[in-house]
A and B are shown apart, each in its own frame.
Chain A
Amino acid sequence: MSANQDDANLLEVRGLTKTFGTLTACDHVDLTVAKGEIHALLGENGAGKSTLVKMLFGTLEPNSGEIFWNGQAVTITNPGFAKKLGIGMVFQHFSLFEALTAAENIALSLDDGSPISTIAAKARALSYSYGLPLDPQSLVGDLSVGERQRIEIIRCLLQTPQLIILDEPTSVLTPQEADKLFETLERLRSEGKSILYISHRLEEVKRICDRATVLRHGKVVGHCNPRKETAASLARMMVGNDVQAVVRAPAQGIETAQPLLEIRALSRKPATPFSIPLRNINLTVRAGEVIGIAGVAGNGQGEFFESVSGEVSQQDAASVRIRGKDAGGLSITGRRLMGAAFVPEERLGHGAAPRMKLSENLLLSRHATDGKVFVGAGGMVKSDAIYAAAQRIIKAMDVRKSAPDPEAAALSGGNLQKFIVGRELDRRPSVMVVNQPTWGVDAGAAAHIRQTLIELARSGSAVLVISQDLDELFEISDAIAVMHNGELSKPLPIAEATFEKIGLLMGGAEPGHAEHALETS
């Protein structure tokens, strides 16, 4: 290797491979990151991006392959060693203690033993100099997700890394917060630091990244300059073929249609000290329409879903009404019997029991609504009828699987999600509430799921979709409401909605949140 290349490449990875059992998560991956560049790692969920960076950060051990740091072969055995080398990482899921202050959280990750006050002063200075204002004395539990991410970034910068790995950093940010982050990243690049930027959002990769490495099924399928590619050509590299566009006919005569799901002055006290209270939520979903609920993660969407589904029932029976009847006091089973169907965010362990077969998972949500078909006299389960119904759903939703009736955990995320959505669609529900319908689902399956939700609405059902993915909501919704800090905005008809307007609402630019609005504008 020549001296020249040593200067240019901060990190070089050759033939890195990691297998989990029979699954090869990373298959002979090559990657080079030059000094002073923002390098994108592109790929769908499950393509092996996270596995790759975990090996770079020392939390996973590769099965084979080499890593060169400044031209030197290194074995990164643990995150402490990675930090010493000069690799910093900002995880997608934060590791912060909510009951501690920002400064205390930062102090925990530094092992130099300097007093908190020094760390707080350093953190404050650094945060302002990078345009990420942060009050080190504030409690993490009181901070928004965007602010928590700042703590993670500051914590990483305090260790003066040469390479910063960011895992899907904008998935928890409003468009305006993301803009600020990009400014910071460009500033870091101008100081000669390198950034490995993991994302599946093509527009932002085109905007800020100098080079991109595209992963598909654990293999590198290409290196490119994202600025010279189109979003469509990048998507093709990621997915492997063209993705079918979702077709949405405009809804007709919605204003006069019958309201099927009504939420009236729904409030809920926080269940734990750090969960979000729901404050006076009002929403009507009429037959034939899809209403989307946007919002940054952790603003009460999970609590809202639990309340609407009946996993947590309400004191006030009129706060949730299904097909014109009060349902607030009913359990999830009672609400299903009124014609509602629900798909939760978490697939394994919430929407499906991981170690149970698909047919058993069909019974999970339909033992009461289809009691006559699936359960016989004396509570005996009719396995044959359930198996047949499961096969019908598998066929209708094109669920790909390795065995006739595999365990839920054996399916890929996208295929399991297709089954879970199909399980509810199979009932022809008149009200469908879905939380993150395509989270972690590959593009082809996502398009299929979105299309079926639109078709369900057009056939006369009311569909409510909670999602963090704005592109998705704009693709399928007739109107979008925004959830922020436990409050829900009025739905904006899709014709009037823009990314900017929704983004401002996500940042809290509603009357009563003036202080947040100022901060983000």
Chain B
Amino acid sequence: MMRLELVKRPQRSMLFSALSPFIAFVLTIIAGAILFALLGVNPLKAFQIYFLEPVSQVWQLHELAIKAAPLILIGVGLSVCYRANIWNIGAEGQFILGGIVGSSIPVLFPQFEGPLVLPLMLLFGMVGGAAYAAIPALLKARFNTNEILTSLMLVYVAQLFLDWLVRGPWRDPKGFNFPQTIQFNDSAILPELMPASGRANWGFVFALVAAVLVWILMSRMLKGFEVRVLGSSPRAGRFAGFGINRMVFFAFMLSGALAGLAGISEVSGAIGQLQPVISPGYGFAAIIVAFLGRLNPLGIVAAGLVLALTYLGGEAVQSAVGISDKVARVFQGMLLFFVLGCDTLIHYRIRLIGLAAPTLESAPKLEEAR
């Protein structure tokens, strides 16, 4: 009988640490090819439809930016949490709450117009996301609950709350009973960047600015140092005088605010009203983005574009060859699996161990095998 054991490597390979996202991507492609082949589709053709056609025209690049913006915004916020060793899995809920709170202005005050509307909505969105993220933070700081569970469960609360709002109190009275709010007025719509060539809106600019600001925060500022110390060695952080509970609130509320900003940008930019579902799982896909980007805000920009492509590709293969667009989720899942797998193998190596005690003859062979 054999068993597998992970043995810590004495040194990490810098080369493979840098290459790991690319290796993971290649492995995903290989696994994806097998998947397509099993579904009876020529893998080469499928990949062309999946990865190349969605970005072959300028307007499609705009679509890519629309999909990438929320992924980058949320992923950048989550990277701060994960660097601090705080596991916010509820960005999807914070995204939704940001969308709801930000939308409260155009929905409840449709007559309120002017240049103040949009900044207020964005601010409200950030406050809504941050406040919603403060709930698991409070539970963790006060009662030491596991933030993975509480933040995840609050996602479902947020989804059902939105569903209730658009079917109940906030439903458009002239909307033929469709579960949606009124269309936002013009001053509540996030403008497009280059209307001549496509739909991309300012959300993508917000994402880039957030990535640069968070990169400065993490690499150049005392607060970022605090995040890294508390995340990597909490005892040393306490010795430094950094408060762990303060950090729980900081990390949760920062990532909540960015998720909320992503939410209101999506609602006021890409959708233009509230409806029962405002996110195709951005909050969860952003977890993959954060890790694929190696928790580095600038890497997350690139990772966000890759993940956005999996969404567009999923839609493309559905319309072109009739495969379910759930294939996008499969690709995202495989990508995360391979990224985490590569990272694990950078830190550990696998060793096969026979359960029977090795005899004198077999012992030297084991040595050679390694």
Contact = CB atoms under 8 A, between A and B. Distances in A.
Contact of B241 (A333, A351, A356, A380): A333
B239 A365 contact: yes
Nearest to A309: B239
B200 to A, nearest CB: 32
Nearest to A311: B238
B10 A21 contact: yes
Nearest to A368: B241
Given A21-B10, A364-B240, A77 B229 contact: no
Contact of B236 (A77, A342, A351): A351
A433 to B, nearest CB: 12
Interface in B107-146: none
A274 B302 CA distance: 50
Contacts of B239: 309, 311, 332, 342, 344, 350-351, 364-365
A333 B240 CA distance: 7
A379 B222 contact: yes
Interface stretch (B82-90, B180-188, B266-274, B357-365): B357-365
Contacts of B220: 380-381, 383
Contacts of A351: 236, 239
Contacts of A75: 358, 360, 363
A309 B228 CA distance: 23
A21 B11 contact: yes
B233 interface: yes
Interface string A330-371: 011100100000101010011111111000100111011000
A375 B220 CA distance: 10
Given A73-B360, A375-B222, A352 B236 contact: yes
A485 to B, nearest CB: 25
A92 B107 CA distance: 69
B326 interface: no
Contact of B225 (A73, A78, A331, A360): A360
B11 A353 contact: no
A360 B240 CA distance: 11
Interface in A1-45: 20-23
Contacts of B236: 349-353, 364
Given A349-B236, A350-B236, A380-B221, A356 B360 contact: no
Interface in B223-262: 223, 225, 228-229, 232-233, 235-241
Contacts of B222: 363, 367, 375, 379-381
Contacts, number: 80
Interface residues of B, number: 23
A379 B223 CA distance: 7
Question: What bracket does the count of chain A residues touching chain B fall in?
Answer: 35 or more
A63 interface: yes
A355 B12 CA distance: 12
Contacts of B235: 346, 349-350
A325 to B, nearest CB: 18
Nearest to B216: A380
A423 B90 CA distance: 41
Contacts of A499: none
A73 B238 CA distance: 51
A355 B236 CA distance: 11
Contacts of B223: 379
Nearest to A342: B239
B10 A364 contact: no
Contacts of A94: none
A21 B222 CA distance: 34
A358 B360 CA distance: 46
A97 interface: no
B241 A332 contact: yes
A354 B233 contact: yes
Nearest to B11: A21
A368 B242 CA distance: 11
A63 B364 CA distance: 9
A128 interface: no
Counting chain B CB atoms within 10 Å of each CB, the highest count among A75, A342, A351, A368 belongs to A75
Contacts of A354: 232-233
Contacts of B360: 73, 75
Nearest to B10: A21
Contacts of A336: 241
A342 B238 CA distance: 13
Contacts of A380: 220-222
A311 B232 CA distance: 18
Contacts of A349: 233, 235-236
Interface centre among B233, B239, B358, B367 (most CB of A within 10 A): B239
A75 B240 CA distance: 47
B16 to A, nearest CB: 16
A351 B229 CA distance: 12
Contacts of B10: 20-23
Nearest to A351: B239
Nearest to B9: A21
A23 B233 CA distance: 24
B228 to A, nearest CB: 7
Nearest to B362: A75
User: Which 6 A-B residue pairs are closest in the complex by CB-CB distance?
Assistant: A21-B10, A333-B241, A353-B233, A353-B236, A364-B240, A350-B235
Given A64-B367, A311-B238, A378-B221, 9 more contacts: A21-B11, A309-B239, A332-B241, A344-B239, A352-B236, A353-B229, A364-B240, A367-B225, A367-B240
Interface of B: 10-11, 220-223, 225, 228-229, 232-233, 235-241, 357-358, 360, 363, 367
Interface of A: 20-23, 63-64, 73, 75, 77-78, 81, 309, 311, 331-333, 336, 342, 344, 346, 349-356, 360, 363-365, 367-368, 375, 378-381, 383
21 contacts: A21-B11, A23-B10, A75-B363, A77-B358, A78-B357, A332-B239, A332-B241, A336-B241, A344-B239, A349-B235, A349-B236, A350-B235, A354-B233, A355-B232, A356-B228, A360-B225, A363-B225, A364-B229, A367-B241, A380-B221, A380-B222
